[in-house]
Amino acid sequence: MATFVLIPGAGGRAWYWHRLPPELRGHDVVAVDLPADDDAAGLREYADTVVSAIGGRTGVVLVAQSMGGLTAPLVCARVPVERLVLVNAMVPAPGETGAEWWGNTGQPRAAAELAVRQGRTPSEELDPMEIFFHDVPPDVAAEAMREEPRQSSAPFEEPWPLSAWPDTPTVFLQGRDDRLFPLEWQRRLVRDRLGIPVEDLPGGHLVALARPRELAASLVRAAS
């Protein structure tokens, strides 16, 4: 049995993971709510929240979605983590702010080029249904949109504090249909920054909502 501790992306809602635990029966699953609407909470406070949720658990497989990639390595530097699994995640560099990350990595251009290849019109204004929910079941997307969470800019304004990536064994999973973080762009970024391969799986950016069964299978493989 593995212990999966799940860090959400922007908005910080544990709800994002709600379709995954039924696919991880037999495992301990802890989904974390982050203080995303608190303008006084930065990356340290996010990491504090995850460390508190882990408590005395051992054999932890820490799973981080999207923006959760900024927080998860900080947790690995503080408590024992058996494996870190990044899912469609941001990979920060030492001293880089979350706000700088987008331009530094070339994400806007990569996303725009993907849109053109797919026959969509690139736009600086993200259409949530087009970018995030295009492959999410309509009822799940409607539930998500009923209460759109607020994400404070505080965690994006501070330099990423670690001097290097922690030595925790790390696995990277990327949805091949992600319109925000295109697969081939992510492969290059992860190779350059972490020196590890990217395992692709079905689904877009919100893969835990769109393809929980496939994600669960990949997580179990990563844990073992």
Instruction: Give the N- to C-terminal CA distance of the chain in Å, as an integer.
Output: 10
Mean confidence (pLDDT) of the chain = 96
Residues 140-155: tens digit of each pLDDT: 999 998 877 899 999 9
d(CA 220, CA 1): 10
What share of the chain has pLDDT > 90, as a percent?
95
Residues 153-162: tens digit of each pLDDT: 999 999 999 9
Coil, strand or helix at 128: helix
Q: In this structure, what CATH number is given to the domain that contains residue 136?
A: 3.40.50.1820
180 band by pLDDT with thresholds 50, 70 and 90 = very high
pLDDT (mean) for 163-188: 98
* Inter-residue contact 37 to 152 (CB < 8 Å): yes
Look up the pTM and report it: 0.96
17 DSSP assignment = G
Distances (CA, A) of 46 to 5, 25, 164: 14, 27, 19
Indicate if the pLDDT at residue 209 is higher than 90: yes
pLDDT of residue 120: 95
pLDDT of residue 44: 97
Place of tokens 């600086």: 124
What's the structural domain count of the chain? 1
pLDDT (mean) for 22-36: 97
pLDDT (mean) for 1-28: 96
Indicate if the pLDDT at residue 113 is higher than 90: yes
Domain, as residue range, for 108: 3-223
Indicate if the pLDDT at residue 126 is higher than 90: no
* Inter-residue contact 210 to 136 (CB < 8 Å): yes
pLDDT of residue 1: 85
pLDDT of residue 79: 97
What's at 89, amino acid-wise? A
Residues 58-101: tens digit of each pLDDT: 999 999 999 999 999 999 999 999 999 999 999 999 999 999 99
If one compares 17 and 148, the residue with the highest pLDDT of the two is 17
Indicate if the pLDDT at residue 13 is higher than 90: yes
Taking Cα atoms as reference points, which of 160, 181, 175 lies closest to residue 106? 181
* Inter-residue contact 98 to 155 (CB < 8 Å): yes
pLDDT of residue 123: 84
The token pair at 100 is: 């700088």
